[in-house]
Amino acid sequence: MKFAHIADCHIGSWRDPLLKDLAITAFEKAIDKTIEEKVDFVIIAGDLFNTSFPPVDQLKRTVTKLKQLKDNNIPVYFIAGSHDYSPSGKTMLDVLENAGLATNVCKGEIIDGKLKLQFTTDPKTGAKLTGILGKMGALEEKYFEQLDRNSLESESGHKIFLFHALLTELKPKSYEKVDSYAVSTLPKSFDYYAGGHPHFVLSEKMGEKGIIAYTGPLFPNSFSELEELKHGGFFIVEDQQSTRIPIKLHDVESWKLDCNKKVPEQIQAELKTLIEKAELKDKIITLRLSGTLESGKPSDINFKEIFDSIKEKGAYAILKNSSALTTKDFEEIKIEVAHKDQLEESLINEHISKDDVDHLDPIALSKKLLETLDNNKEEGETVYNFEKRLKEEVEKILH
Amino acid sequence: MGVKGLIISGDFNKVIARQKSEQSLQIGELLIGKTADSNVLLQVTDLLYASQISQQNLELVSGMNLEQGSPIEFFDENLRAYNLAILKSLIVTDQDSAQLCKQLPSFLSPIRDITKEDLSFITTPKNPLSLGKLRSGSKAVNVDIALNGVDVFSHHILIPATTGKGKSNLTSCILWDCVDKEYCGILVLDPHDEYYGRTKTGLKDHPQKDKVSYYTPNNPPPGEKTLKINIQNIKPYHFDGAANWSPPQRQALSMFYKKFGKKWVEAVVMDKDLDQSTRFFQDGTLAVIKRKLLSILDLDWDGEKLDCKGIFCLKGGDTTINDICTDLEKSKTVIIDTSHFAGDVEILIGSLISSELLKKYKHYKLTGELKEKPVINIVLEEAPRVLGKEVLEKGPNIFSTIAREGRKFKVGLTAITQLPSLIPREILANMNTKIILGIEMAPERQAIIDSASQDLSDDNRNIASLDIGEAIITSNFSKFATPIKIPLFEEVVKQTKDSKPKAKNSFSGIQMS
């Protein structure tokens, strides 16, 4: 048995048209490779698309490749991910399934209040596949709580479980604040757990479980992912041995410039020297600037000129991140931290001195309000009840 | 209310009362006496026989009964043979207030049973930690005893008792009570894997189970976590109390940490070079630290590949310590199943978590955030393993540091032990709440009496006679040494109703057949 495990293609992501094109190109390359490798079937563990309704041009190219797989008698099994799932049930994935191009393996029935998942059997290999979709905020964890595990665990044969979630015991430090759940949440006795959602690569056997694998994205999905991962990839699994197939479209060169106590002219000069020395042909360049300028403001740096010089040297695309670049010239809120929680707290702190609250602790109050308003609507909860619950919780905090 | 006796003599420490003939008094029983203008709460500390008939005559009469079968009969028997009770004054009560007792109850005044009204000064404090019902002798009185949980947890708790006297039951009850409380987060190092209740009733059955986090190295129940700790999270000082290092070995560890940072453990076991510094250490020193690390961390090094066999791993487990700290900060109860580990590994795990926790809370104090944080309490079974005199003679560890200064940072300990006498007096004195269960061994009782928050010098017998589920709380946060009856944990679980409204099941996104 030989199959491909793909996840987090995020087709349709990136606003920049050049990079948007790379996301779908990566998918096309991956499918070409699976056909070339003559895999028995392809698994997509969530987030094929970046939204439930991807742009038509992207969809067209996706359908073409899925059709090619079908023509080569390679079935595609998938689950929805946190990006391409739609609570209304209207998602392009349904269209693909109805067209016979792919099969959603997240199927089941409710028996005595428990979720009994059904297996989809691959006709060629006899592999039995099932799984649970991913939702925003790890809301699918409740499905696992209601899962009829016995029926899944007692099933014989070669079993594959698809999931789209971050697992606590396996998450690296950079994912510390991301919603996750324990490995034990997954049912036991599957041979392969095809994971998606976190954008890092991992393949590991844990306890009584088979191999738990994350492929990482097919193409980096953000500035920092481009810096860190450089390129995406997927797994080809044969006889329980997984091989990572990298999808390299362009080399990525990442520049990080410390602008502390420098003036815009100095930075511009440094960048020019950098560009002159570097071989940039066909590369993606990421430029991250940080620090506090000695004088002037970030807009004094002539980025257009810099970008033009980079393009002249044949670079494929240039991305700039100057969110951590500040200036002394303006009295503004200065944030030295990168994480969302820290950012929120720093902003609250900055504002306290400007707008004092008499009788309440403003930090605690703001944090509690943010936390409460961040609540998601629960499964089965009506909009009315959800609003009522939120109002009650907010009132409780304010009184 | 019936009279139970009359105060007849004694002094301030030992008030003597004659027991009324048809009444029966018990050691530990609470009674109400009177001064001119208020009530005095009294407690029976001892009981003895008394008679108007001389000892010589008593011996003669009993001899006639034993040897000749003559019945024992006295004229006005109730007047001539009776019991005396030794009482101690606990507090003076006046309506809803109570003060320490500084006067004698009136001479020849009656003593009677307590009523709920007499105890109206016992109120529910802020952030209540429920401990059971007030006990008078062996009878429970329908008055709930609760202490301010924030004070009690941050100023440390000691639970001393002989085996079988109900330490686990009491701890289970305390943990159950704390699960849904927002004022505290509890870390339990559970060497017997008993509190989660894998195979019996436990915290897993709590209606707010989502506030219980369980880590176990093997086969976790669905939804619970596998205990995995990345070796890069370990720092040399985490071994304090878990391993005995000689001064040169300790210095070598520091050197490795200084040079290799997070990868110091790998550097030691893979014989990486310390460059210039290597010459300061003998080969034997480096070999010993390598051997000890391999053994404690359950690592395997074949000269080429480093394998992790236990919970300490190279891949994954990066966020375990931080996840645990975050759970505790969210007022959760975190149970670590350490039943599979040797003592040193258990202490290392406890040390890793506790050190990070104390570090975080020290930082919160610095930034002024501490008042917003819940108090954290660390439950330590067989506490002398880390707080014993012998252990601390070799150097301090994180637990002795917490015992000494944790209360300033809202981090406290609950030390459970059969042998409190092994814990240094200084630490015992820092444990400001002691929940004393039955202790049969006199030296152990004495260690507790000597370090109690209230004067228990007359309670030696009282402590010895404590039955299963009976306890005395002596605390800086209670007005008197309070006798309590601890409920049976299984009963507590039965009584707790699932108050959380059940959300309607919905499985949107799953294709239903």
Could you report the per-residue pLDDT of A63-108, keeping only the tens digit for each? 999 999 999 999 999 999 999 987 776 789 999 999 999 999 999 9
Q: Which residues pair with B190 in a beta bridge?
A: B337
User: Is the separation of the CB atoms in A114 and A146 below 8 Å?
Assistant: yes
Q: Which pLDDT score is estimated for A354? A: 45
Phi and psi of A198, rounded to 5°? -75, 145
Residue appearing with tokens 């006679």: B465
Q: Please give the mean pLDDT across all residues of chain A.
A: 89
CB-based contact, B501 to chain A, within 8 Å:
no
Provide the terminal-to-terminal Cα distance of chain A, rounded to the nearest Å.
62
Q: Which amino acid is at B198?
A: R
Residue B310 to residue A225: CA distance in whole angstroms? 32
Please report the beta strands in B274-388, taking only residues with DSSP state E, as ranges in sequence order: 299-301, 306-308, 312-313, 333-337, 375-380
* pLDDT grade for A45, boundaries at 50, 70 and 90: very high
Residue appearing with tokens 């602790």: A361
pLDDT in tens, A260-281: 999 999 999 999 999 999 999 9
Residue B371 to residue B483: CA distance in whole angstroms? 32
- HSE of A256 in the Cβ direction (CA atoms, 13 Å)? 8
Residues of chain A neighbouring B507 (CB-CB closer than 8 A): 108, 110, 115, 143, 146, 379
Q: Where are the domains of chain A?
A: 2-247, 252-327, 351-398
Q: Which pLDDT score is estimated for A356? A: 46
Q: Which pLDDT score is estimated for A355? A: 46
Phi and psi of B170, rounded to 5°? -65, -45
* Best CA proximity match to B24, nearest among B138, B107, B154, B133: B138
Average pLDDT over every residue of A374-398 = 79
Q: Which pLDDT score is estimated for B503? A: 57
Residue appearing with tokens 């018990």: B26
Average pLDDT over every residue of A287-294 = 92
- Six-digit token string for A314: 């044949």
Q: Which residues pair with A5 in a beta bridge?
A: A43, A235
Residue of chain B whose alpha carbon sits nearest to that of A81: B509
CA distances from A302 to A279, A307, A310, A332, B116 (A): 21, 9, 13, 22, 82
Angle in degrees, CA B178, B182, B185, rounded to 5: 60
User: Is the separation of the CB atoms in A159 and A121 below 8 Å?
Assistant: no
Q: pLDDT in tens for each of the 513 residues of chain B?
A: 689 999 999 998 899 999 999 899 998 899 999 998 899 999 998 999 999 999 999 999 999 999 999 888 888 888 999 999 999 999 998 877 888 888 899 999 999 999 988 888 888 899 999 999 999 988 999 999 999 999 999 999 999 999 989 999 999 999 999 999 999 999 999 999 999 999 999 999 999 999 999 999 988 999 999 999 999 999 999 998 888 888 899 999 998 998 899 999 999 998 887 776 656 778 888 899 999 999 999 999 888 888 888 899 988 899 999 999 999 999 999 999 999 888 788 889 999 999 999 999 999 999 999 999 999 999 999 999 889 998 888 888 999 999 999 999 999 999 999 999 999 999 999 999 999 999 999 999 999 999 999 888 888 888 888 899 999 999 999 989 999 999 999 999 998 865 555 556 677 777 777
Residue A298 to residue A371: CA distance in whole angstroms? 33
Nearest to A133 among B226, B315, B509 (CB): B509
- Six-digit token string for B47: 């009981």
pLDDT in tens, B444-477: 999 999 999 988 888 888 888 889 999 999 999 9
Q: Where are the domains of chain B?
A: 3-119, 128-228+317-495, 232-312
CA distances from B30 to A9, A129, A335, B88 (A): 74, 69, 62, 10
SS3 label, residue B330 = coil
Cβ neighbors of B305 (< 8 A, separation 6 or more) are none
CB-based contact, B369 to chain A, within 8 Å:
yes
CB-based contact, B218 to chain A, within 8 Å:
yes
Count of beta carbons in the 10 Å neighbourhood of residue B319: 25
Q: Whole-structure pTM over 0.80, yes or no?
A: yes
Count of beta carbons in the 10 Å neighbourhood of residue B210: 12
Count of beta carbons in the 10 Å neighbourhood of residue B330: 13
Closest-CA distance, A213 to chain B, in angstroms, reads 13
Strands B375-380, B184-190: pairing kind: parallel
Interface test with B, best of A110, A116, A168 (most B CBs within 10 A): A168
Q: Which residues pair with B132 in a beta bridge?
A: B145
Q: Which residues pair with A193 in a beta bridge?
A: A161, A212
Average pLDDT over every residue of A12-30 = 94
User: Is the separation of the CB atoms in A293 and A322 below 8 Å?
Assistant: no
* Best CA proximity match to B487, nearest among B115, B135, B197, B203: B135
Residues of chain B neighbouring A184 (CB-CB closer than 8 A): 220-226
Residue A81 to residue A69: CA distance in whole angstroms? 21
Q: Which pLDDT score is estimated for A139? A: 76
How many pairs of residues across A and B have Cβ atoms under 8 Å apart? Answer: 111
- Six-digit token string for A22: 């790379």
Residue A340 clears pLDDT 70, i.e. is over it = no
* pLDDT grade for A331, boundaries at 50, 70 and 90: very low
Residue B457 to residue B83: CA distance in whole angstroms? 23
CB-based contact, B225 to chain A, within 8 Å:
yes
Strands B3-10, B110-113: pairing kind: antiparallel
Residue B201 to residue B93: CA distance in whole angstroms? 41
- Six-digit token string for A388: 């009522």
Q: Which residues pair with B133 in a beta bridge?
A: B144, B485
Angle in degrees, CA B309, B312, B318, rounded to 5: 135
Q: Bin B102: left if φ > 0, else alpha if -120 < ψ < 50, else beta.
A: alpha
SS3 label, residue B97 = strand
Please report the beta strands in B217-295, taking only residues with DSSP state E, as ranges in sequence order: 225-226, 229-230
pLDDT in tens, A190-242: 999 999 999 999 998 887 788 999 999 999 999 999 999 999 999 999 988 99
Closest-CA distance, B315 to chain A, in angstroms, reads 8
Phi and psi of A36, rounded to 5°? -65, -40
Cβ neighbors of B18 (< 8 A, separation 6 or more) are B5, B6, B8, B50, B82, B83, B84, B85
B318–A173: do the CB atoms touch at under 8 Å? yes
**How long is chain A?**
399
What ipTM, to 2 d.p.?
A: 0.76
Interface test with B, best of A120, A184, A204, A211 (most B CBs within 10 A): A184
A379–B320: do the CB atoms touch at under 8 Å? no
Count of beta carbons in the 10 Å neighbourhood of residue A265: 13
Q: Which pLDDT score is estimated for A97? A: 94
Out of 3.90.190.20, 3.40.50.10320, 3.40.605.10, 3.60.21.10, select the CATH number for domain A2-247. 3.60.21.10
Q: Which amino acid is at A270?
A: E
- Residue range B128-228+317-495 forms a domain whose CATH class is alpha beta
* pLDDT grade for A343, boundaries at 50, 70 and 90: confident
